[in-house]
Amino acid sequence: MMGSTHERPLLTAALVMVATVLAIVPLLFPSFLVYQLSIALTYAIAILGLNLLMGFNGQISVAQGVFFAVGAYATAIFATRFGLGPLATLPIAVAMSALIGFLVGIPALRMQGLPLAFVTLGLAVLVPPLALKLDWITKGATGISFAKPMPPSWFPGNQDTFLYEMCLVSAAICVWIARRLIGGDTGRTLRAVRDNAMIAESLGINLTAVRLAAFATSAAFAGFGGWCFALINGYVSPDSFQMTMSFNFLVGSIIGGITSIAGALIGALFITFVPDWASDINLALSGVIYGAALVVMMLLARDGVVGLARDAYARLRPTLFTNTSRKSSQVRAADLAPIKTQGRTS
Amino acid sequence: MQLFFQQIVEGLASGAIYASLALALVLVYRATRVVNFAQGEMATFTAYLAWQLHEWGVPFVLSLIIVAPLSFVLGALVFRLAIRPVMTAPDHTIVVICIGLFVGFEAICLWIWGSDAYAFPRIFPDTAWTVGGIRFSAANLGVLGVLCVLALGLAAVFRFTRIGLAMRASAAEREKSPLVGIRVETMLMLGWGLATVFGFIAAVLIAPKLFLSPPMMVPVVIYALAAATLGGWDSPVGAIIGGLVVGVAESLGATFVGFIGSELKIAIPFIVMAIVLVLRPQGLFGKTAVMRA
């Protein structure tokens, strides 16, 4: 994508800058905003998984909230029943989500495209009633509360700050994993299946296995996000995991830009703050504003915020990097010109 | 045993409602390859319109007759403004548009009419007949009758009229149909309009049971989606049978499977569907797409 040599340092610098700004955020903002940002980071992790699945493997899932809920519930249940610490519950939460993703994927992946989106939607609807029904383990409507992790003694700052930084580190780890996955052979396989399943199959790729693996991996990311979500709240209940959560993840993923990692963060900020702002404007109208925002956004900027940014960058690029880019484009134009005219005359 | 058959009758009646909404979904899908999540919310909105007219003193039947063409216009408008510009876009764009419509229509109802549930007038009288210990209420029979009329009407339009033929043609061959003089976009708009009318009918049928409230149709649309998947997305017959199967399975499952009960009955269509998907991915009546490499 943005691969040429003189752009890489720029990209790295930007990344470092963003990371630094994010890390010192708790010093600058009131604690409620810090809490909201922590929530946004947990969403970002789930959306990142969805981007892997949707952007790089071409499968639409409206069930990301389900796996998020599984991760959160697994964390809460293992923390209260067995007294496990956060580091012990993390692998459990991730593994449980991945496992459920795998099991669900077996029938669901028989469908592709919009029907698949719907089958997963059905799962999303099921979560709250199922959480209520399984009350011997989920404690039903009361939910499960447990102690949030305390900051270690060397940590300069209060608990909220600690939880925020924990989410930030988790998100960074997930970004790193996602980049590794997208970069190598795995990423090529995923994209091959997305772009042309038939050719991918003829090259010896097992479509079902790849799709299942992508689905389970994406679910694992959601489980990671759910783990963070449970820890920063110290509480889980069926109310937190309504169908709208799965909708929101999907919306965030697409609004941010599905083939991008930065898009996951932007999308997470969108779904955390835009409904809030909309209800600040007018409480009764907030849903109408939110719905209209989605439709208009898709009509104007189909590839999301990152897509918009990429377009703008492509337009600005010749002026930013005069020396190489412009020359090469001139050369190409000169080469093509005679061919074009020949083609037209003959 | 009597309870068993009674539950089948009840299931068929609610299944008929799911089937009419599933018909709407399949119509839209066949015409434009869009799975319209928002169909149910649009239906709720139109049901509110009819209810409002009735509240203002318009006779109930007349208000239905007024709102039916209005819903047609609503469907056509939604297609024109929100769907047509993204027809060639990837699936996920369309999903977000549908989510936007879903959230938007529900919010409009909430904004105008508030979150209180209103009693919706019944179309069918409150009588019932008992045959062999099984109770057939006029409402249940009426709903089944409406479904039959809808299905036969739709089949007749598609089979015997020019416009039906043109609609089928533009659904099957969007690029080639204009060559024989079919206005494809008009046909697609017709499809959306017609589907919205079907949604309206489904909402009017179920509103007396569920009471009119903004999220009224959410479970119904879920059942309808399951019915469409069950029957196969390209088959109206499948949608009808799928709807009836889902209705009966829901009613029997909620009564006879202890764990499920009434809280989890929304899981039933998915269990049925998961089984069908594993055995027959294209649905009961769907055709497998044959692709040329």
pLDDT tens profile A299-342: 887 778 888 888 888 888 777 666 554 444 444 444 444 444 44
From B57-61, B133-137, B146-150, B279-283, the region with the lowest mean pLDDT: B279-283
Q: Is residue B261 included in any domain, yes or no?
A: no
- Testing the interface with A: which of B84, B95, B259 to mutate, by most A Cβ within 10 A? B95
Residue of A298, A299, A300 best to disrupt the B interface, most CBs of B under 10 A: A298
B215–A contact, CB cutoff 8 A? no
Indicate whether A47 and A105 sit together in one domain.
yes
| Residues of A in Cβ contact (< 8 Å) with B95 | 60, 62, 114, 117, 250, 254
Does the residue A269 lie in any domain? Answer: yes
Per the structure, the count of domains in chain B is 1
Give chain A's domain count: 2
Contacts of B82 in chain A (CB under 8 A): 295, 299
Residue B91, domain member (yes or no): yes
Determine, yes or no, domain membership for B45.
Answer: yes
- Domain identity same for A159 and A286: yes
Is residue A235 domain-shared with residue A329, that is, in the same domain?
no
Task: Compute the CA torsion angle B176, B178, B181, B185 (nearest 10 deg).
Answer: 130
CB contact under 8 A, A54 and B107: no
**Does A5 map to a domain?**
no
Q: Are residues A165 and A291 in the same domain?
A: yes
Task: Tell me the residue range of the domain where A323 lies.
Answer: 307-346
Beta-carbon contacts below 8 Å between A and B: 142
The pLDDT of A1-5, averaged and rounded, is: 49
* A312 shares its domain with A234: no
User: Which residues of A fall within a CB distance of 8 Å from B261?
Assistant: 133
A5 confidence band (pLDDT: 50, 70, 90): low
| Distant-in-sequence contacts of B137-144, Cβ < 8 A, 24+ apart | B139/B13, B139/B208, B140/B9, B140/B10, B140/B12, B140/B13, B141/B13, B143/B13, B143/B16, B143/B17, B143/B205, B144/B12, B144/B13, B144/B16
- The tens digit of pLDDT for each residue in B118-152 reads 888 888 877 878 887 778 888 888 888 888 888 88
Strand partners, A21: none
Least confident of A69-78, A268-277, A282-291, B190-199: A282-291
* A158 and A210 together in one domain: yes
What span, in angstroms and rounded, lies between the C-alpha atoms of A42 and A184?
26
CATH, residue A87: 1.10.3470
**Which positions in chain A touch B86 (Cβ < 8 Å)?**
298-299, 302
**Does some domain include residue B80?**
yes
Same domain, A241 and A180: yes
Chain B residue whose CA is closest to A244? B103
For residues B282-286, average pLDDT: 71
Task: Kindly state whether residues A175 and A224 are assigned to the same domain.
Answer: yes
Q: What is the predicted ipTM?
A: 0.78
pLDDT of residue B289: 55
Q: Report the share of chain B in percent with pLDDT over 70.
A: 95
- pLDDT, tens digit, for every residue of A133-192? 887 888 877 888 888 888 888 877 788 888 888 899 999 999 999 988 888 888 888 888
pLDDT digits (tens, 9 = 90+) for A45-96: 999 999 999 888 888 888 899 999 999 999 999 998 888 888 889 999 999 9
A151 lies in the same domain as A291: yes
- Candidate from A118, A288, A294 with C-beta closest to B99: A294
Q: For the residues A182-204, what does the mean pLDDT come to?
A: 86
Range of the domain at B195: 2-216
pLDDT of residue B258: 66
Q: Are residues A100 and A126 in the same domain?
A: yes
For residues A59 and A90, membership in a common domain is answered with: yes
Distances (CA, A) of A64 to A19, A241, B104, B222, B228: 26, 10, 22, 18, 23
- What pLDDT was estimated at residue A333? 45
Residue A328 confidence (pLDDT): 47
Whether chain A has a CB inside 8 Å of the CB on B66: the answer is no
Asked whether residue B249 is domain-assigned, the answer is no
Instruction: Establish if A12 belongs to a structural domain.
Output: no
Residues A314 and A253 in one domain: no
Q: B91–A114: do the CB atoms touch at under 8 Å?
A: yes
